[in-house]
Chain A
Amino acid sequence: MSPLPTEAATRGVAVAIEDVSKHFGPVRAVDGVTLSVRAGEFLSLVGPSGSGKTTLLMMIAGFDEPTGGRFVVGGRDITHVPPHKRDIGMVFQKYALFPHLTAAQNIAFPLRMRGVSRAERDRRARLALDMVKLPDHADRFPAQLSGGQQQRVALARALVFDPQVILMDEPLGALDKKLRQQMQLEIKELQQRLGATVIFVTHDQEEALTMSDRVAVMSEGRVEQVGSPRALYEGPDSVFVADFLGNMNFFRGRLDHATGEGCRISVGGIGMAAQPAAGAVAQPGSPVQVAVRPERLMVSREEAGTAGIPGRIRQQVFNGASLTVVIDIADGTTVQAAADARSAVAELRPGDRVAVGWSAVDAHVFADGLP
């Protein structure tokens, strides 16, 4: 393994975002966000377009002043520190490499700005190039590098000066899928090796789930939920988060009664067991939505006495590792189930009658506020 470019191996520090807002006239781009990122943590910000991710990142980097709130990085309040004195690395979506400088000069730029001697700059730039696996590309100009190579140079440039925090705004957005996955692994590996604190913005929720220690889901300038990928995926607090991360089926039903742990609901007159999502309280008799992941949905051929919600197969889609069946259920909703391509589900044909069910732990009940 190549040596680290850093003199201190672990320099990531904790970041506290305290009740930060940014208003553009009437638009509340960021609306009272509070988040704490631990030292050495990889935190992703995900959310639909316009939810304020970039705005938040730009404020952390210092390109925008918050309307309210403050940022504390490594114990220092940096809310009013100008960007060039923040010691925060950033990887831009379009790389933002300096086109008139070679890869090595780009990487040496932050060191040069810090008055590091030429020899030392060269040495550290070379180490950083090794680190991102581009040892032979030192003298290439950005225009002579492929997209993936440019991305690596941008990464090396953001890492080489040992910043306290590294911000990335959709750094892989411009790469094709294969390269993206490869870069995801490489970034993750580097981050762990260096112990860097990373705040990573992405559109791609799958990317967020695979790379992050924790994920913050944003919506309309607010943080909806923060937690480990697993906690978010398996225990969404709201319909929004349930819907946003991964694929999710929603059933409309009615709450029959709730006990301490689980609850009973009825969907189209069929009684089912489920569990109420955290923070979601509903009165017995009130309408609810039940969220179940496609891979948690159990589908069986409907025979006399089969428990479950009746439905009819509409379509069956083979997608390599798994199989997706699209099912119309009685009340007109359509749900999807993912199954092993060699399971009994594969035998089902469009038009077949089926029964759909789930284990109580996999079904999250939310109060149905929607009309």
Chain B
Amino acid sequence: MTDAAAPALRRRPWLRTARAAPATAAPVSRDRLSRRASLLLVSPALLLLGWAFFLPVAALLFRSVSEPTWTLAHYARLIDEPLYLRIILRTLWISAGVTVLALVLGYPIALWIARARAGVAAFVTLCVLIPLWTSVLVRSYGWILLLQRNGIVNSWLKEWGFIDRSLALLYSETTVLVAMSHVLLPFMILPLVSSLKNISPDLGKAALNLGASPWRGFVHVTLPLSLPGIFAGCLMVFVLSLGFYITPALLGGPRTLMIATLISQQATEMLNWPFAGAISFVLLALSLAITFAFRKLLGVERAAAHA
């Protein structure tokens, strides 16, 4: 457990049971790996991560302040030009919207999985996971097939006589919002399921027995106890949304640019690597800030580890 999680724990000591359990379950004396052996085991991953992730990111960030000379001009440009600020704000609000939508859509499904009989639960979980194993590209093209001018939705609406001319369903913020929620839904559902499964069914019965209607029992018992899962799922979806590339790029069009698309544009089309670096830094800073804010709000780390 880190220090960052400690204040949250002090405020909500009931989280401690879940937190303490793994620690007590594993006796200290169980053959711990020596420091050298552990280092040896993680070194391939560390090397790869360092070489393929930290190094390029660091290089990119370095270029954002060092080209053409030492300067903060690229960052100033981000703030000064309303276009870029708008993109950042749009990214934030779309991410927030995606998070809320995924939570609203995902919670009932998660509850169903957690409460259903084993066979049903396994089947529904599979239904949630299969899209996850399908490429994001495929799922986004699926939305294009549905929503394009002569796509499935438009032709049905026309056939049923609701509309005469095709609607422009693609390339709007709403489209991006809905499609991203769909793509990221599993990342909301899985942590929710694990935290809901941790809630003893006796508690629901106790609430009923004590006079709570099923709805009030949910509001007063199940919902607060599933907060760790809610936070973990929201964090995951929000941070993934911030940097999401394929879906907004395909379904958003040029008017619904989001940060990741902007970075790619600057790097590959404008060849303005320093500016791309500056935007990347803002994205990274946003993601980290959000993560820490969430962790402060509630020790999520733990719930995520449970998932």
Q: Which residues of A contact B (CB under 8 A)?
A: 61-63, 82-90, 92, 94, 96-100, 109-110, 112-114, 141-144, 157, 161
Q: In the complex, which of the residues A63, A87, A99 has the most CB atoms of chain B within 10 Å of its own CB atom?
A: A99
The answer to whether B206 touches A114 (Cβ under 8 A) is no
The answer to whether B211 touches A96 (Cβ under 8 A) is no
The answer to whether B210 touches A100 (Cβ under 8 A) is no
Alpha-carbon separation in the docked complex, A161 to B212 (Å): 13
Q: Which residues of B contact A (CB under 8 A)?
A: 12-14, 16-17, 200, 202-203, 205-214, 216-217, 220-221, 224-225
CB distance from B17 to the nearest CB of A (A): 5
- List the 3 closest A-B pairs by CB distance, nearest first: A110-B210, A113-B211, A96-B202
Given contacts A96-B200, A100-B225, contact A143 B17 (CB under 8 A): yes
CB distance from B161 to the nearest CB of A (A): 46
Residues of B within 8 A of A109 (CB): 207, 210, 212, 220
The answer to whether A96 touches B203 (Cβ under 8 A) is yes
List, sorted by A's number, 20 A–B pairs whose CB atoms are closer than 8 Å.
A62-B208, A62-B209, A83-B209, A84-B208, A84-B212, A87-B211, A92-B202, A92-B205, A92-B206, A94-B202, A96-B202, A97-B206, A98-B206, A100-B225, A110-B210, A113-B211, A141-B13, A141-B14, A142-B14, A143-B13
Given contacts A99-B17, A143-B16, contact A89 B209 (CB under 8 A): yes
Alpha-carbon separation in the docked complex, A110 to B202 (Å): 16
Residues of A within 8 A of B213 (CB): 84
Alpha-carbon separation in the docked complex, A92 to B210 (Å): 12
Choice from A63, A82, A85 contacting B205 with Cβ under 8 Å: A63
Residues of A within 8 A of B211 (CB): 84-85, 87, 110, 113-114, 161
The answer to whether A100 touches B14 (Cβ under 8 A) is yes
Choice from B200, B202, B210, B225 contacting A113 with Cβ under 8 Å: B210
Nearest residue (CB) in A for B202 is: A96
New A-B contacts (12) at CB < 8 Å, excluding given A92-B205, A143-B16: A61-B205, A84-B217, A92-B202, A94-B202, A96-B200, A98-B221, A109-B207, A112-B220, A113-B211, A113-B212, A142-B14, A161-B211
CB distance from B22 to the nearest CB of A (A): 15
The answer to whether A90 touches B13 (Cβ under 8 A) is no
Choice from A84, A97, A114, A142 contacting B209 with Cβ under 8 Å: A84
The answer to whether A96 touches B205 (Cβ under 8 A) is yes
Alpha-carbon separation in the docked complex, A109 to B217 (Å): 10
Nearest residue (CB) in A for B227 is: A100
Alpha-carbon separation in the docked complex, A39 to B16 (Å): 42
Nearest residue (CB) in A for B203 is: A96
Residues of B within 8 A of A88 (CB): 209
Alpha-carbon separation in the docked complex, A61 to B16 (Å): 31
The answer to whether A90 touches B224 (Cβ under 8 A) is no
Alpha-carbon separation in the docked complex, A224 to B115 (Å): 36
Given contacts A113-B212, A113-B216, contact A96 B206 (CB under 8 A): yes
CB distance from A139 to the nearest CB of B (A): 11
Q: In the complex, which of the residues A88, A94, A141 has the most CB atoms of chain B within 10 Å of its own CB atom?
A: A141
CB distance from A272 to the nearest CB of B (A): 52
Given contacts A92-B202, A141-B14, A142-B14, contact A99 B210 (CB under 8 A): no
Residues of A within 8 A of B16 (CB): 143
Residues of B within 8 A of A82 (CB): 208
The answer to whether B216 touches A100 (Cβ under 8 A) is no
CB distance from B19 to the nearest CB of A (A): 10
The answer to whether A144 touches B210 (Cβ under 8 A) is no
CB distance from A73 to the nearest CB of B (A): 14
The answer to whether A83 touches B208 (Cβ under 8 A) is yes
Choice from B13, B203, B206, B209 contacting A144 with Cβ under 8 Å: B13
Alpha-carbon separation in the docked complex, A141 to B221 (Å): 14
CB distance from A326 to the nearest CB of B (A): 41
Q: In the complex, which of the residues B17, B205, B210, B214 has the most CB atoms of chain A within 10 Å of its own CB atom?
A: B210
Residues of A within 8 A of B217 (CB): 84
The answer to whether B202 touches A143 (Cβ under 8 A) is no
The answer to whether A99 touches B209 (Cβ under 8 A) is no
CB distance from B21 to the nearest CB of A (A): 11
